[in-house]
Amino acid sequence: MKRSLLLLFAVTAFAQVPTPESVLGYKPGADFHLATYEDGLGYFRKLAAASNRVKLEQVGKTTQGREWWIAFISTPENLAQLEHYKDISRRLALARGVDEEQARALAREIKPIVHIDGGLHATEVANHQHTIQLGYDLATSETPEFQAIRNDLIVELWFSINPDGQTVVADWYRQNLGTPYEVSPLPVLYQEYVGHDNNRDGYMLNMLESRVITKATLETEPIIFYTQHQTAPFPGRIYLPPFADPISGNMHPLMLRWLSLIGTTIAEYLDGHGLTGSMHQETFDVWYPGYIDNIGNFRHTISFFTETALYRYATPHFYTVDEFPAARQGLGTEMLYSSPWKGGWWRLSDACRYMYEADMAVLGLASKYHEQMAYNKYRAARDTIEKFSTEPPFAYEIPRRQHDAPTAALLMEKLMLHGIEVHQLSDPDEWVILMNQPFAGLVKELFEPQVYPTLSQRPYDVTGWTLPYQMGVEAHAVTTPLSKQMRDSLRPVHEVSGLTAPFSRGANASYKVVNQVLAAKGSVAFSGEDIDVNFDKAKLDALLAANDFRAGASPLPEGAKPVKAARIGLYRPWVASIDEGWTRWILEQYQFPFTSLYNAGIRAGHLREHYDAIVIPDMAERQILDGHRPGTIPERYAGGVGDEGAQELRDFVNDGGTLVTFNNASLFAINQLKLPVENALADLRPEQFFCSGCLLKVHIEDAKNPLTAGLTPDTIVMFERGPAFNTKTDFKGKVLARYAKERSPLASGYLAGADRIEGKIAALEADYGKGRVILLGFKPQWRGQSHGAYKFFFNAFYE
């Protein structure tokens, strides 16, 4: 009786499961239709209500405050055991206390979790549109293929990993649909602060979204983490692993082998379903651990992305072969492009179909090899623990007393968010990261300098990211085995606390405290690195304690300069700027008061009445002047600051304002203000000089200058396709920092033509009228990581 009731219930529930079309009013992927995140979530709620094969879970909230939900899809029996399977996953992933025999048994028992998601690059719209149909079919299809997937696996389906962006983009498209601006670019960042860089935050976890994904992933420990993108190298229809070299040596080789196997499996499956144009190994390498869809490889989850072709939004496009690159117009067959695409219509539904079938290929493979994949997670973790038990580095030591101790504490917190074990030693007072732990490969990747092999093609992204360098944190690799006595005296750290650093401008957090005091009408004076505060003692002590500082700063000597907060304007163009977003985020984090300054605000003039300092983040001169070309975007977003805006900026500095320019925006300032400064790297061909992003050492030339207060004598900066300066004879001002003379300034990453930058100026202050221009030929705020260089601009914000 019970049994037949259950059966009846299942059949009834199944019969009532709504199709996406019946809820949305169109088939997902239809021309000219984009579902918002709310539309997608609305559908998944109905799906979960109607099907016992779907379980929704809230994983957190987004930056803009949306409730963020994901779906687990499997058989009801498997879903009932979800917590048990998560627990097995974690045991296998950590390998602690699990021997070979137990691991084999657990791998046999588990129904492993596979993460499939609807992407985080919101303008790549098929990413999050295709997951709706996939969710429905995974829950309802009765073909043997789907039954096997449900029986063998639990699909962790993130229908979007950028809910805010999905809605921002769908709204923008709907508003322009049918107008001349139907395919015009989005004038804002689709992730509130970082837009496309939401896939460059994988290890730093600055954004809420990155933390939510990481936390959830450490909890489920999927065997596969698959993210959809939509930027295939043309005319390929989908870009798949194996990816381009170079590749990090800190991933377990099994991860890379599986990547290749999965990539060619997808290609074979697509060809088998009549979908041509799969491509491999071009353009994108995957060394950078900042990709959220790559970092998992360092934690033994097979992690990857694929790039399907995109026209724009949900608008179809017809391609002819003569639009193809010359080398591919012959439609020749290549080893890794063996079913060339022949052109024709490309619709959103095509992109959705490629993604859907690629998901099916991955799930099919995982269904066949799930036991081996689950075991491999254990195997990779065990191998890593064994490797660093016998070879260096055996540990990293991070002194708790150092130049910027609160930032060192922040680094420890970031590691712990990744499930890295941190220990504490009391004598000497330091944090210790033992390397015989499962995710040690990630620690090594983040702590060691990146050394590049000889390259056959130039890297397309950054090449050096060594975190202690970027953050200005002292860390030492331990190259001999630790003594038993030392190991025995280590205590595990569950929360980084108890730090009482001296309150000084050496620490970035001191700027936050100063800004909080100034905002509360307290008074502050600077003398070199020292800070004197006149403020309610109890409140000050609370602020100091909250920021890891010791209470009771000693009073300053005579001559300390009282400061007040500068009125800051941050230039925010309609050519949405990721660099602007990162700057805005950092200013908010350190509580600098500022106003976003748009083109109209600059052109309106009277800048000096409203601002003391104006910041222009990294962007090209023409972009600042011209912005979007009129006719390509709705009128209010067209144009840049123009010649009149450039004149207003000249007037602003002439009247005593401070203009701060990051990286290539410095060239705008040099040209528009006719500064007696030149770019020493102008006109060099890539064969003569090339750096797509590496860490370079600069020497502080003017240590007494208030603009360099708190910086270490040798600071490491992120140099990314930027300028370096020479001054001309009539230059008036100060050189702040310079690249080393007669030796390469390279600290980490790939730099070609080092001699071209040796001895050149990295940062300077140029006098102009009653004001000044601060040119920084690098990215002092790079992706919210280069804490060691923040003071290059923080110091410009006090009067």
Size of the site for Zn ion (CB under 5 A): 3
Q: Count of CB atoms within 10 A of residue 367's CB? A: 19
Q: Count of CB atoms within 10 A of residue 448's CB? A: 17
Q: Give min distance, CB of 364 to Zn ion, in A.
A: 24
Q: Give min distance, CB of 583 to Zn ion, in A.
A: 22
The span of 150-158, 224-232, 478-486, 521-529 binding Zn ion (CB under 5 A) equals 224-232
Residues 98-127 that bind Zn ion (CB under 5 A): 121, 124
| Distance separating alpha carbons of residues 461 and 721, to the nearest angstrom | 11
Residues 32-51 that bind Zn ion (CB under 5 A): none
| Distance separating alpha carbons of residues 730 and 315, to the nearest angstrom | 55
Query: Of 198 and 547, which has the nearer Cβ to Zn ion?
Result: 198
Q: Give min distance, CB of 117 to Zn ion, in A.
A: 12
Query: Got the DSSP string for 404-471?
Result: THHHHHHHHHHHHHTT---EEETTTTEEEEESSSTTHHHHHHHHSPPB----SS--SS-----HHHHH
Residue at token pair 């702590």: 447
Q: Are 723 and 756 spatial neighbours (Cβ–Cβ below 8 Å)?
A: no
Q: Give min distance, CB of 287 to Zn ion, in A.
A: 17
DSSP structure class, residue 8: H
Q: Give min distance, CB of 309 to Zn ion, in A.
A: 12
Q: Give min distance, CB of 229 to Zn ion, in A.
A: 3
Q: Count of CB atoms within 10 A of residue 503's CB? A: 26
Query: Of 161 and 653, which has the nearer Cβ to Zn ion?
Result: 161
DSSP structure class, residue 341: -
Q: Give min distance, CB of 227 to Zn ion, in A.
A: 8
| Distance separating alpha carbons of residues 456 and 246, to the nearest angstrom | 9
Query: Of 306 and 510, which has the nearer Cβ to Zn ion?
Result: 306
Q: Give min distance, CB of 33 to Zn ion, in A.
A: 21
The answer to the question of residue 229 lying near Zn ion (CB under 5 A) is: yes
Query: Of 123 and 658, which has the nearer Cβ to Zn ion?
Result: 123
Residue at token pair 């709204």: 171
Residues 124-163 that bind Zn ion (CB under 5 A): 124
The span of 25-33, 108-116, 222-230, 594-602 binding Zn ion (CB under 5 A) equals 222-230
Query: Of 124 and 285, which has the nearer Cβ to Zn ion?
Result: 124
Residue at token pair 């007669």: 742
Query: Of 229 and 299, which has the nearer Cβ to Zn ion?
Result: 229
Cβ partners under 8 Å of residue 293, min gap 6: 199, 202, 225, 226, 227, 303, 304, 305
Q: Give min distance, CB of 220 to Zn ion, in A.
A: 23
Query: Of 231 and 329, which has the nearer Cβ to Zn ion?
Result: 231
Count the residues in the chain. Answer: 799
Would you put residue 205 in left (φ > 0), alpha (ψ -120 to 50) or beta? Answer: left
Ranges of H-type helices in 303-347? none
Residue at token pair 């900066």: 717
Query: Of 229 and 738, which has the nearer Cβ to Zn ion?
Result: 229
Query: Of 122 and 695, which has the nearer Cβ to Zn ion?
Result: 122
- Please give the angle made by the CA atoms of 496, 502 and 503, to the nearest 5 degrees: 100
The span of 183-191, 227-235, 501-509, 545-553 binding Zn ion (CB under 5 A) equals 227-235
The answer to the question of residue 787 lying near Zn ion (CB under 5 A) is: no
Query: Of 124 and 548, which has the nearer Cβ to Zn ion?
Result: 124
Strand 224-229 relative to strand 302-308, pairing: parallel
Q: Are 697 and 715 spatial neighbours (Cβ–Cβ below 8 Å)?
A: yes
Q: What Å distances lie between residue 651 and 619, 645, 730, CA to CA?
A: 21, 10, 21
Q: Count of CB atoms within 10 A of residue 77's CB? A: 11
Query: Of 124 and 164, which has the nearer Cβ to Zn ion?
Result: 124
Q: Give min distance, CB of 386 to Zn ion, in A.
A: 36
Query: Of 207 and 762, which has the nearer Cβ to Zn ion?
Result: 207
Q: Give min distance, CB of 119 to Zn ion, in A.
A: 7
Q: Give min distance, CB of 750 to Zn ion, in A.
A: 23
Give how far the C-alpha of residue 348 lies from the chain's centroid of Cα atoms, to the nearest Å: 26
Residue at token pair 């000889």: 454
Residues 669-698 that bind Zn ion (CB under 5 A): none
What's the farthest any 2 CA atoms get from each other in the chain? 97
Query: Of 193 and 768, which has the nearer Cβ to Zn ion?
Result: 193
The span of 226-234, 354-362, 486-494, 594-602 binding Zn ion (CB under 5 A) equals 226-234
Backbone angles phi, psi at 58, to 5 degrees: -85, 130
The answer to the question of residue 779 lying near Zn ion (CB under 5 A) is: no
| Distance separating alpha carbons of residues 444 and 446, to the nearest angstrom | 5
Query: Of 120 and 410, which has the nearer Cβ to Zn ion?
Result: 120
3-state secondary structure (DSSP) of residue 216: helix
Query: Of 229 and 353, which has the nearer Cβ to Zn ion?
Result: 229
Q: Give min distance, CB of 124 to Zn ion, in A.
A: 5
The span of 229-237, 325-333, 358-366, 479-487 binding Zn ion (CB under 5 A) equals 229-237
Cβ partners under 8 Å of residue 546, min gap 6: none
* 157 token code pair: 């389906």
Q: Give min distance, CB of 196 to Zn ion, in A.
A: 7
Q: Count of CB atoms within 10 A of residue 297's CB? A: 29
3-state secondary structure (DSSP) of residue 781: coil
Q: Give min distance, CB of 264 to Zn ion, in A.
A: 22
Residues that bind Zn ion (CB under 5 A): 121, 124, 229
